[in-house]
Structure 1
């Protein structure tokens, strides 16, 4: 609802900047990073509204990732949070740091959790475990966040990551998870992981390999970097197999005729998230 002259200054400020498609907010915990929101104008903040986090790919089209879910948010009492992790925050031009969670002294998983806490404070609400989506570079982030913080998530939709971390205790991060505790202070929580609704989605024509093959002189090359398969479809299947071996139920969509394109896979993600909310509603009504 638009601000009216009869509203208080605080009501007008909220209506203009904290409802609908919001402005961009710097993250208080680390102002190098920012986020924008979609907040339904009639949001019910006293009933634990849903939260959907939508993580951009390498091109950083932040608003595109918010807009993809505004309709979903409007009709499902769901706040949409779209973070922005800029290129080169360490001054070295690195475009990929957020994808692997750890870059220098930056923990991107903790940055996101700080953003979530700030939005809760801003809106005066508490979110239940949230839905997380990411495409391409965001798909990197999403499945690695899932590995580290399954207890924070109700659902994860992992879109077309170029490289995947498998649940392999014989290989180090990022190829495997052998040194998870050493790097992140956390063990793999298999029980919590099995409780998350997991969705893998990739375009059926997403077969170009020029961007995803790790070369030996590359910044993040390590032994086994290319072992999960040649294409994003192959790597999608490898991730599915790795999760299923740990007892995780995985939903998978391979979108016919879709290349490496976020708009082509989002309808599958929306269908998945709608099914998750329906299941939650059915359980709550019992």
Structure 2
């Protein structure tokens, strides 16, 4: 059974029934929905005041600070402008400690399957098709988002990712998650670059995001192959997408990198100083 938490401006949850209209969820309210009644699993959902059955989904993925609510707040003006329903999954640290790689072992729950279940339920609740959506992720969420796009390109209209710590490269000789060669724990993930390279892709990283902090993945191989910090690694990944697109003769690819002014690794500063939200939605609707 679906339950919800409507969250006020002070981030204090108020448990109450889901507010519905004839077309689904009440517009203009941020609601926390439990997935299939499981209190450990859920997502924030926002339906714009400009709601209709023609609304599209915008899905935003938090980093390890798990600030999913802040993501929704930041993107509400754009949801209203473009008639988009916001879905912000919450990856519990207890249940999904390694959500960035879509799970780690055969016994650990796969986060891509959890994510798909959230999208399906959100679409039903909002009364719209959830087959395809616009996707954004920040930091750890950017890691999940770009790997999801590579595994499920048929579902992603366009993607923007902010400041991922490291990337899965479109290299068939490197085993996942470093590359797209099949790995033992992810045998059912089939990566087809001729499909995912057609997805318009934008990477955004703050110009000051050059610290090798404790959250950044570090190893000799990653440092040599991808770069020493998030700024270098984001550029290297976009270059790799463009190089692979040319090799495969994909001329319709749109892969771009933007350096955000006055911004470090803070999501909030990337939004307020770097203009990240404007750039994300400009990217979504320019192709």
**TM-score exceeds 0.5:** yes
TM superposition score normalised by structure 2: 0.80
Q: CA deviation at 1:181?
A: 8.3
Counterpart-to-counterpart distance in 1, 2:37 and 2:145? 21
Change (3 A) 1:181 1:121: farther
Larger mean Cα displacement after TM superposition, 182-191 or 81-90: 182-191
Counterpart-to-counterpart distance in 2, 1:204 and 1:144? 24
Aligned position for 1:240: 238
Q: How many residues get paired?
A: 255
Q: CA deviation at 1:13?
A: 3.0
Alignment partner of 1:250 is 2:248: no
Secondary structure of the residue aligned to 1:202 is: strand
1:231 to 217, 229, 232: 229
Aligned position for 1:101: 102
8 Å contact kept, 1:53–1:80: yes
Secondary structure of the residue aligned to 1:69 is: helix
Aligned position for 1:54: 60
Q: Which ranges in structure 2 are unaligned for 5 or more consecutive residues?
A: 1-17, 246-252
Change (3 A) 1:124 1:57: same
Aligned position for 1:164: 167
Counterpart-to-counterpart distance in 2, 1:29 and 1:183? 28
Counterpart-to-counterpart distance in 2, 1:166 and 1:256? 26
Q: Which ranges in structure 1 are unaligned for 5 or more consecutive residues?
A: 1-11, 216-220, 280-286
8 Å contact kept, 1:165–1:175: yes
Aligned position for 1:19: 27
Change (3 A) 1:130 1:242: same
Secondary structure of the residue aligned to 1:25 is: strand
State the Cα deviation string for residues 62-95 of structure 1 (Å, max 9, x = none): 11011111111112110001110011227xxx4x
TM superposition score normalised by structure 1: 0.81
Name the structure where helix makes up a greater proportion of residues.
1
8 Å contact kept, 2:56–2:128: no
Aligned position for 1:198: 201
1:84 to 87, 90, 103: 90
Aligned position for 1:118: 121
8 Å contact kept, 1:29–1:111: no
Q: CA deviation at 1:27?
A: 1.5
Aligned position for 1:271: 279
8 Å contact kept, 1:170–1:176: yes
Q: CA deviation at 1:28?
A: 2.0
Q: CA deviation at 1:116?
A: 1.0
2:138 to 135, 139, 144: 135
Q: CA deviation at 1:17?
A: 5.9
State the Cα deviation string for residues 41-75 of structure 1 (Å, max 9, x = none): 33111x2x111111111111111011111111112
